[in-house]
Amino acid sequence: MVEIVLDDEFCPSGQTTAQDLARMQSEKARNLSEKGKAAEALTPYVQAKASGEQSIDLMISGAHCAGCMAKIERETAALPDILLARMNLSTMRLNVQWRGEPAKAGAIVARLEDLGYGAKPFNMELEPLAQRDQATSLLKAMAVAGAATALIMTMSVGIWDGSEMSKVTRQTMHWISAAIAIPTVAYSGQPFFRSAWGALKNKMTNMDVPISLAVILAVSLSIYETIHGNPHAYFDAAVMLLFLLLIGRFLDMRLRQKTGESAQRLAAMQASTASLVKDDGSVMSVPASMIKPGDILLVAAGERIPVDGEIIKGSSDIDTSIATGETLPLASTIGDTLYSGMINLSAPLTIKASAVSSDSFLSEISRLVEAGEQKKSKFVRIADKAARLYVPIVHTLAALTFIGWMLYSGDLRTASLNAIAVLIITCPCALGLAVPAVQVVASGRLFKKGVLIKSGDALERLAKIDTIIFDKTGTLTLGSLQLSNAQNISKDALETAALLSRASRHPVARAVAAAAGSGPVADNIKEVPGQGVEAKIDGKLVKFGAASYVGAKDQADAQTESWLRIGRAKPIRFKFKDTPRMDAKDTITGLIKCGYNVELLTGDKKSMARETAELLGIDIWQAEVSPSDKLARLEELKSQGHKTLMIGDGINDAPALAAAYASASPAGAADVSRAAADIILQGNKMSGVITAVNTAKDAQKRVVENLSLAVIYNMIAVPIAVLGFVNPMIAALAMSGSSMLVTLNALRLKFH
């Protein structure tokens, strides 16, 4: 006799037939096969780290709040061999790192799906489309709920105003309301129903569970009341509740779209293809992601550097502003290191790759930015802390209310009405609006004064800062060179230099062309990478560029000067400077008077940094700092207990902007910096900084008042609902009234 030992997974009861065993084993094999295919499909998206670890970026769907993010990180990190699980709620990107085989990615996705969240390989190009589709769906649901609310409320006025109305007329109006409310709830409630069902299916709860329960019970009870000809129905309460909640969900989605733009901007700056030089000398265009260390690449003039590498052939001017923030291009030649995202300006280069695309400079900048955004998304406000307690408290209150009224009255209808009223009246709309209402009003006030607020919690953080750190080039200064010694240069010499400069896009050439005005361009101009330009003018060789190029000896400050030599004549010196913004000094003085610590961090040379700091009255400054140096200074200040406001404009400032407690950028800043910053300063003035911090302090007072009003409302409303003094309709009106109260209080900020 053969004994068959069965796994509990196949036979929980301990008994089965041979056919059942065969069927179950076949089903398990099919499931394993499907999981194997899923893991195989994910394998190409897994990246192997230099240390041998595996990493994958996943796009998560179905996450709405910090609670969802914490759950995803916690449950993913609990899987075997997982080293790191970090999610960015702004971009919906989950980065997971683990030890072992790439196939483990399938198990990670399977666990996320078990939790009720969608997961697929992250694609920066598709991610904005997915967010746009979500926002469009929410907007449609909100529009339908809003229209239904207006229609049903219009009919409800006659029912609730106490005037005489026949039973037939009242019931007819209830049926019309039902015909509007039922399809509206079925359509507009989907964002909440799907979320609630996903949580319940996995034996969990979230804030959408009591919301969905309240809406469904209100509609169900209203249908029951209408069928039995009872005088009251609560269709208006259900659709009004959905409408108000959808407004909050839509605004939250829009804020997350804005705060996730920085990663999208950085991805757009990464070269998508590279020109690979094969062993036979031929050149082939390949995706930048396929480049490996040691590969030889050809970078034409005008192209971005695809990956970090070293020049092995050629010399050229390189736009290094992505790394240093400096206005002037850097003359680079054999042996120099270039970083991804830099732009080759003047001549072809051959470079040897030193890193893969995902480990290059620009990718590192992107990770630093997302790490900073991650810190912001974990910024937990008082309202968020209260919202965490919302689900268990509301469920308990509603259940106790139902049980208590059943014991007291024995009437199922009365117990249900009071339990629904508790669910509705405790809806956290006032609590949820306490902060956003102030943000909207404060944002409008600042917009009129040339300051744009981008981040949802920026005002809270701005109100608490004590240290302000400025970048120099493009922030305190205009970021464009101007000829500073024009009075020492003859008109003929200036025009001759302009004949050469008008054909170049070099910052120095643009400054000379601007000083001389419009005019002709010399013929047969020759550009020498890293040195300057030359041409024959009136039979004489004219050179304009570096001192060594034209034969000049004086190189007091080679970074801010160029030389013109006409034939064998004595070279003429052209000096340049970056002009401070018109109100930079007054702004610095005003901030210092308000008690803020002010510092200057710049990638520029020490001489230029010192000159700017002395001119503007900044005592603490550092020059020639890298993006990581700026981060290190921010961490140092943070360890000392300071809360910093970082103000910068360059791509190299983006990590610091994302990591600082609060951040700002001028309107003319790089796209990535504007996307990473919390506020944007319009125009060429810096005075908006003072306006922003003062408004933030006023807004913080309104937030505290609104949260206090929301708490007082719940302290009064909840006992009244539990004791049965309100029905669902009155509960919905009370909930709406509390929302209006905090909104009106927020509007006071507009007139300060």
Q: How far is CA 282 from CA 259, 277, 285, 288, 344, in A?
A: 43, 6, 10, 17, 21
Q: How far is CA 672 from its chain centroid? A: 11
Q: How many C-beta atoms surround the C-beta of residue 511 within 10 A?
A: 22
What does the CA dihedral 364, 369, 370, 373 come to, rounded to 10 degrees? 160
| SS3 call for 228 | coil
In the numeric block, which tokens belong to residue 149?
């609310």
* 119-124 long-range contacts, CB within 8 A, separation 24+: 119/58, 119/59, 119/60, 119/61, 119/94, 120/58, 120/59, 121/42, 121/45, 121/56, 121/57, 121/58, 121/59, 122/45, 122/57, 122/58, 122/59, 122/93, 122/94, 123/59, 124/263, 124/264, 124/267
Q: How many C-beta atoms surround the C-beta of residue 282 within 10 A?
A: 8
Q: How far is CA 356 from its chain centroid? A: 25
> For the purposes of burial, counting CB atoms within 10 Å of the CB of 186, is it exposed (0-12), middle (13-18) or buried (19 or more)?
exposed
**Active-site residue 471, yes or no?**
yes
- Characterize the bridge pairing of strands 561-566 and 572-580: antiparallel
Q: How far is CA 616 from CA 232, 483, 620, 752, in A?
A: 70, 20, 11, 30
Would residue 549 be called left, alpha or beta, if left means φ above 0 and alpha means ψ between -120 and 50 degrees?
Answer: alpha
Longest dimension (CA), the chain: 112
Amino acid at 222: S
- Characterize the bridge pairing of strands 309-313 and 82-88: unpaired
| Residue linked to tokens 């061999």 | 81
Q: What is the C-alpha to C-alpha distance for residues 320 and 344, in angstroms, rounded to an integer?
A: 9
Q: What is the C-alpha to C-alpha distance for residues 561 and 557, in angstroms, rounded to an integer?
A: 6
Task: Give the sheet arrangement for strand 343-344, strand by strand.
Answer: 330-332, 316-319, 343-344
- Candidates 471, 578, 604, 653; catalytic one: 471
Closest CA to 584 of 683, 685, 472, 451: 685
Q: How far is CA 143 from CA 150, 460, 740, in A?
A: 11, 31, 20
What is the set of active-site residues? 471
